[in-house]
Amino acid sequence: MTDDNSMRWRQGGCHCGAVRFEVALPERIEIEDCNCSICAMVRNTHVIVPASRFRWLQGADRLTTYTFNTHKAQHTFCSVCGVKSFYTPRSNPDGFAVTWACLDDPQDFEEVIVNHFDGVNWEKNAAALAHKSAD
């Protein structure tokens, strides 16, 4: 059995390959299946990590950013293919929310725990997500 705390760098990116990154994740991850207006529309399910566990490989200059409502979350997506492979969440503005399906091998974990996050009522529930980007 693998040590639950051991991190492994895994690669991911957008559909066309312009945006590429790597992210350090443990063998057991929690992903947020959020029902807010934008996550529901694109069926975004993501894992939140601190910035120290995210490294650019290429494509930072290819990103376009969309914001709405409080304009705190930075919804970054590839300007070529439109895929949002990660974004900066309102709950953890010092970290990143990496789209689980945009990892090269999203099933390559011992366990993937799906949290159903009620983003429709974000203000009431944000505490549950706070500090997920802490080192």
**Interacting residue ranges for Zn ion, rule: CB under 5 A:** 14, 16, 18, 78, 80-81
Name the closest residue to Zn ion (Cβ).
Answer: 78
| C-beta closer to Zn ion: residue 45 or 76 | 76
CB of 79 to Zn ion, least distance (A): 8
Strand, helix or coil for residue 131: coil
What is the rounded distance in angstroms from the CA atom of residue 106 to the CA atom of residue 95?
20
Cβ 53 to Zn ion shortest distance, Å: 22
- DSSP class of residue 74? B
- Between 76 and 91, CB nearer to Zn ion: 76
Pick 23 or 78: Cβ nearer Zn ion: 78
Token look-up 């529930």 returns 125
Smallest gap from residue 21 Cβ to Zn ion (A): 12
Query: In 3-state terms, what secondary structure has residue 122?
Result: helix
Q: In whole angstroms, what is the distance from residue 12 CA to residue 35 CA?
A: 23
SS (H, E, C) 37-71: HHHHHHCCEEEEEEHHHEEEEECHHHEEEECCCCC
Q: Which is nearer to Zn ion, 18 or 97 (CB)?
A: 18
Find the shortest distance in angstroms from Cβ 116 to Zn ion: 28
